[in-house]
A = this chain, B = another copy of it.
């Protein structure tokens, strides 16, 4: 029984006691650890930072997927950048309207390890609509896309290490070019408390690229800070206008997400509202 801790800035930490270490390997990109625990089930760390656990993963995967998919005019073609644990793809593939998902994950070792050791998180690997590409997401969005995407979900890690390129304006310009005119994007956007400057900078960066930008908020137990955030961006889609009936069947099974929670996530903490007004 060993404690695995993510020590944020070396001054605060969140830890789980491992009953077993299932996988521990340095890939080309990062250190990958998958452990088993008593209360949180199996859990994944990348470079010592918590990515997901069976117990709390829905508090991250449901927001990143269901808020944008509930309001996007069309959801036939979805691009997931990152998302190596398979949880985001699983939630996306719950929608019958989704016809084609490209998942572009830079680290093939993460995908292989998660397929093997986190089968309860990635339950949709064999869905024929899912196309996994071990590739660089930054390069992927820059390519010519014959058919544009309806939805892009940026499910990367923190802006240090291999996910660094998923936070700058050039990347989001690429996403915009890969999207249809009515397309929508959602990206994880760090902690508004613990990484407030990064969060605010992401909002500003996205506002340079997309006409409509809406941060939204929730909580993920294993991530540092009281709240976690995502950002919804589009040319002209209102994130409060839920497409009638689309998510009904999904809500029956969801852990966190329902219509009330959808609207609640869009409430902006006062200190973030104030910071945005005062800049």
Contact = CB atoms under 8 A, between A and B. Distances in A.
A9 B256 CA distance: 23
A17 interface: yes
Nearest to A262: B267
Interface in A229-279: 251, 254-258, 260-261, 263-271, 273
Interface in A180-198: 193-194
Contact of A11 (B12, B16, B226, B261): B16
Interface string A1-26: 00101010111111111000000000
A123 interface: no
Contact of A271 (B220, B255, B266): B255
Nearest to A261: B267
Most buried by B among A7, A55, A221, A255: A221
A219 interface: yes
A15 B5 contact: yes
A38 interface: yes
A260 B269 CA distance: 8
Most buried by B among A226, A264, A273: A226
Contacts of A16: 11-13
Interface residues of A, number: 47
A29 B147 CA distance: 67
Contacts of A263: 263-264, 267
A88 interface: no
A52 interface: no
A40 interface: yes
A269 B273 contact: no
A76 interface: no
Interface in A16-73: 16-17, 37-40, 55-56, 59
6 contacts: A9-B39, A56-B226, A255-B271, A261-B270, A263-B263, A264-B265
B5 A12 contact: no
A21 B14 CA distance: 21
Contact of A227 (B219, B225, B251, B269): B219
Given A13-B17, A221-B225, A264-B266, 16 more contacts: A5-B13, A5-B15, A10-B17, A11-B16, A12-B17, A12-B37, A12-B39, A12-B40, A13-B15, A13-B16, A56-B193, A221-B226, A251-B270, A255-B269, A255-B271, A263-B267
A228 to B, nearest CB: 9
Contacts of A265: 264
